[in-house]
Amino acid sequence: MNRDQKTARGSEESLPSPQERLAKQLARVPVAWLVLVIGVAASTAAWLFTVSRVEIAARSKFDATVADAQSAIRKRLQSYDDVLRGLQGLFLVTPRVTRDGFGRYIDNLSLEHREAIRSISYSQRVPAETMTAFVDQVRRDTSRDPRGFPDFVVKPPGGRPEYLVLVFIEPLKGNEAGFGLDLTAEPVRRASIERARDSGSVTASGRVSLLSVPVEGDWGVSLRLALYRRDLPIDTVEQRRRAFTGVISATFLVREFVSDIIWKDAVKPLHLRVFDVGERNAPVSANAPEALLYDSAPRRKPAASFMKPVQIDAGGRLWRAEFAAPAHYFLATADRLSPWLVLAAGILISILLAGLVRALATSGQHAEAQRLAQELVEALPNPVYFKGTDGRYIGVNKAWEQFFGIPRAAFIGKTVHDLYPHDKDTADRLHANDRLLWERPGTQVYETTIATTDGTRHDAVYYKATYRRADGGVAGLIGTIIDITERKQAEQRQAMEHAVTRVLAGAPTLIDAIPTIIRTICDTLNWHCGSRWALDKEAGLLRCFECWGVDSPEIQEFVDENSKHTMTPELGSDQGLVRGAYNTGKPVWIADLTRATGFKRAALVTKADLHGAFCFPLLDGNEVLGVMEFFHRGVREPDDMLIHITQSIGRQIGQYLVRKQAEETLQFVATHDSLTKLPNRAMFQDRLENAAARAKRNRTRLAVLFIDLDRFKFINDTLGHDAGDALLREVARRLTAELRASDTVARLGGDEFVVLIEEIAEPVHAGTVAHKLVGTLGESFLLSGQDYRVTGSVGVSIYPDDTDDVRTLLKNADTAMYRAKEQGKNAFQFYSPQMNVNTTERLTLESSLHRALDRNELVLHYQPLVDIRSGRITGAEALVRWQHPELGLMPPAKFIPLAEETGLIIPIGEWVLGAACERNRAWERAGLPHLRIAVNLSPLQFMRGDLVKTVERVLARTGCKPTALELEITEGMVMRDPENAAALIQKLKEMGIHVAIDDFGTGYSSLAHLKRFPVDSLKVDRSFVMDIPGDANDMAITAAIISMAHNLGMKVIAEGVETREQLDFLRGQGCDGLQGFYFSKPLPEEQVITLLQQAREGGFPNK
């Protein structure tokens, strides 16, 4: 009996299953087995590849989770640091902190900053000789408890040279064991205190057992910050030791500190162990049992799948945190199944391929093989397809029909380009991969993105393999598609959430964080711009605060315009994007803004060609803190996954906003006076040191003004503390109003204020400011319904004139302030006696100058301008003088700089212009020779926008002809803003007015620069003329100026001509006009008239 007969008989006796039949038939054809083995091997490779990808994704999630936990630990340590810094500020600004004041300050701290803190305490340095008095004082302290503390003792007992006694502790309940403890008696505590004292920084103790928690292995840590005397320097270690007065501490259990971070949902899988390595740069002893601070699972060994150690700086000590977790904690169900689905699909396809090869090789059983293969293909849950070598589909399964939404009967015989008729890029990409497989037959695995007929995009893994004909040639390929969209979306969601978390963890301020978050979301999701809106509580409007957009002109213009927008919240309205999300607390999606109703910025988005938009709220619980909106250039249908993501991110950002606001509040409390909201002593000291460093680097001056109110104690004692507080607040307001935004005014404590003024040109300018402050404090204050006069005394010290040491600078200002009080109060004094003299003179002069115009004390003198060829007087320069009633006739150098500084130069300049034009017109009517009157303009006059109107008004009022007026300006004035200067000069020229450049050669311009200004003449500065003919360089420069000016069509007038030799040289060089003492000094009007009458017939008298 042959083999086939035996098989037939066996089948009659026991019919094998289809799987057994397939296995037996494949076993008869060696080539089928070969295909099966190769297919299984390829499937295993694909399985390993997918396992690797999944493991990488899990590792990424683990790393991100570790980063989140590490960031949370660091942020909590920073919040403790902030608490101690704020408390240090309290001791700095308050001369004597009481137990009640300490307790109230701690009570007002936000819960977030006190989270996991067991106690906050103050320990005072007590020398042995004062211990008895100290203990008695504490026992009688009733500020917090009316019973006092009659049983208070310092512990442990024993004689020591000095003690550091824990005297304030909040909360006291539960921490009574620490009250009275001498912290220096225990070595671990003493070491951290000495480091805090010597460094001036926040330092951490090693692990200690807390007296309030006597549980073995439950370790505590204290963060400490030293306090120092305010009146002693603390620049060196020795100075800090001498000035040391005590220490403030924040104590926590490491278990409580870490556990609520670890037990957050995202971090639960982590096994965390924390070790105290020791001080920075100390030998590593992390594995020693005594270094262990915390173990989240002490009864189990760390999981071996993932493990990551990180280092954390905790107050100058190094902590090593070891994170560990099994990989499966970071895999979703789809992630864990994905490799096995790939393997199962690969093996099934391999079996199908083996069956097909067997069917092609054994034509007698072809129908049965095909039927079996078809059943297997139809049973697969993933889309399966067959293609011929011409690229046409020759078969698909039901899963393929359902996936693409296309009946197989309508598609067999078509190509991939028919599958994607509107997406040529996708079709070309898939076809190119097929061609690679034809060229190198075997298997192919890759990941790509495709779309189905309903427009849904899918992330997918393609697994393909070729199969052969009986003759060995490639007959076609079989492929399967594994949809990994959900996994990809989960990865994308988690990646974006972790990216946002990292931004929030690393950004120091909202201004840094929010634009980066907007950009992260846009980059991750391929949107084009976004912004954050929040309620401006003062204005009662929703305002756009931060924006970001891709780098394109249209988007940037939209972002710029959007940032200027505001809108009313319109509570109860759900119209629009921002208001809809803000009022409902839910995400809002608009697929196409061009078709939306109620969108008030339609014109802006249309101009930027934006269509899709979504907006989600930023939440703290149920409170909406603001919203974020995003825009896309294309129409975007609602994306449920994205909406879900943004809800999570919205809460995350909301929590960050609340935390940052709390931090900023605490930072403000630490650096500002709580009553007046002005900077406190610590912040002022910091600003003063920075300002002194800048002044030293830039070689500039600064001033410190120390202010003390003269009758504050009377007001406080008579009207009560409420009135005293109101007075201090009003003083702060007045001082701030009188100063520039760049100046600093601070409250040191009590009724003492201090002002920092940077970049003062001369010390007397500080006196001007002090005078203003004395004046504003001298005005009455409305207190308790009545007016009271308080006044203030001010002391002024100048850096570096008085000292270059910032501490001494403040002391000098204090000394000068007491000198002001000794001299009658309601005044100011400089630390330098000579400066007091100079400032008094200057203030007297300023006061008189304010009245000079009203009293007609200003007069004009005139200096003739002479034509060098004819000797005729062609003009006169009007020069102002002050006929002071006590000081006599004052030249302009004595008062013009003061007029420019105080702004009086504007009315003075207009008076000079009007008086000069008026006198010139009067001379003309008197029949005197026609002259052109020259008037100097100040920089303030020239740069004011109303110069042309002022000149027009003066000419109209006086009747002076424009051609009879010349305005003189300097090089610096035109070079400060060349474009505006050129336009202004052109307008004056169009009126017929002559324009001259005065003092040419002393500025930073050149004739090459000046050629673009339509000026008529240059006046060579007297500094080039005075040494002619003795200085060859001055002669060469003057000759060059004359020659080049003539080439540019300008006339040249030489100033300061005093000798015949100078006249001869200038005439020889072709100079046009002269002015100087050789011809005439500036003369009063009556002498000028006489001179003009003498010169009526021509020529300059006696010259």
Answer whether 227's CB lies under 8 Å from 243's CB.
no
Checking if the pLDDT of 736 tops 70, the result is yes
Strands 792-799 and 828-830: parallel
Residue 903, number of CB atoms within 10 A of its CB: 10
DSSP-derived letter for residue 280 is: T
Q: What is the mean pLDDT of residues 369-385?
A: 68
Residue type, 673: D
- Whole-number pLDDT of residue 594: 85
- Whole-number pLDDT of residue 356: 63
DSSP-derived letter for residue 591 is: S
Tell me which architecture the domain covering 853-1094 has in CATH. Alpha-Beta Barrel (3.20)
Higher per-residue confidence, 8 vs 292: 292
Checking if the pLDDT of 495 tops 90, the result is no
Task: Choose among 92, 99, 95: nearest CA to 171.
Answer: 99
- Whole-number pLDDT of residue 613: 92
Task: Choose among 987, 983, 1013: nearest CA to 1000.
Answer: 1013
Percentage of the chain surpassing pLDDT 70?
84
Q: What is the CATH number of domain 672-850?
A: 3.30.70.270
Task: Choose among 692, 697, 670: nearest CA to 683.
Answer: 670
Checking if the pLDDT of 278 tops 60, the result is yes
- Whole-number pLDDT of residue 95: 66
Checking if the pLDDT of 340 tops 70, the result is yes
State the Cα–Cα distance between residues 892 and 665, nearest whole angstrom: 53
State the Cα–Cα distance between residues 767 and 703, nearest whole angstrom: 9
Question: Is there a cis peptide before residue 1101, judged by omega within 30 degrees of 0?
Answer: no
CA quadruple 112, 115, 118, 123: dihedral positive or negative?
A: negative
Determine phi and psi for 862, rounding to 5 degrees: -130, 135
Q: What is the mean pLDDT of residues 865-879?
A: 89
State the Cα–Cα distance between residues 272 and 65, nearest whole angstrom: 12
Answer whether 182's CB lies under 8 Å from 160's CB.
yes
Q: Where in the chain are the domains? A: 507-669, 672-850, 853-1094
Checking if the pLDDT of 871 tops 90, the result is no
Residues forming beta bridges with residue 162, ordered by sequence position: 127
The mean predicted confidence, pLDDT, of the chain is 81
Task: Choose among 193, 159, 71, 186: nearest CA to 505.
Answer: 71
DSSP string, 31-46: HHHHHHHHHHHHHHHH
Q: What is the mean pLDDT of residues 425-437?
A: 92
For the chain, the 3-state helix, strand and coil shares in percent, each to the nearest 5, are 50, 25, 30
Structure tokens at 193: 């205190």
Q: What is the mean pLDDT of residues 533-538?
A: 87
Checking if the pLDDT of 602 tops 60, the result is yes
Q: What is the mean pLDDT of residues 646-675?
A: 79
State the Cα–Cα distance between residues 890 and 908, nearest whole angstrom: 15
CATH homologous superfamily of 507-669 equals GAF domain (3.30.450.40)
Task: Tell me which range, 234-238, 674-678, 731-735, 924-928, is most confidently predicted by mean pLDDT.
Answer: 731-735
Checking if the pLDDT of 834 tops 70, the result is no
- Whole-number pLDDT of residue 110: 59
Checking if the pLDDT of 540 tops 70, the result is yes
State the Cα–Cα distance between residues 672 and 669, nearest whole angstrom: 5
Task: Choose among 888, 885, 975, 875: nearest CA to 919.
Answer: 875
Task: Choose among 977, 964, 1051, 1043: nearest CA to 1015.
Answer: 1051
**For the ranges 180-184, 518-522, 627-631, 898-902, which has the lowest average pLDDT?**
898-902
Question: Is there a cis peptide before residue 161, judged by omega within 30 degrees of 0?
Answer: no
Whole-angstrom CA distances from 252 to 77, 110, 119, 1012 are 11, 16, 7, 74
**For the ranges 148-152, 342-346, 756-760, which has the lowest average pLDDT?**
342-346
Using DSSP's 3-state secondary structure scheme, residue 956 falls into: helix
pLDDT band at 28 (very low <50, low <70, confident <90, very high): very low
Model-level pTM?
A: 0.47
pLDDT band at 757 (very low <50, low <70, confident <90, very high): very high
Q: What is the mean pLDDT of residues 489-495?
A: 69
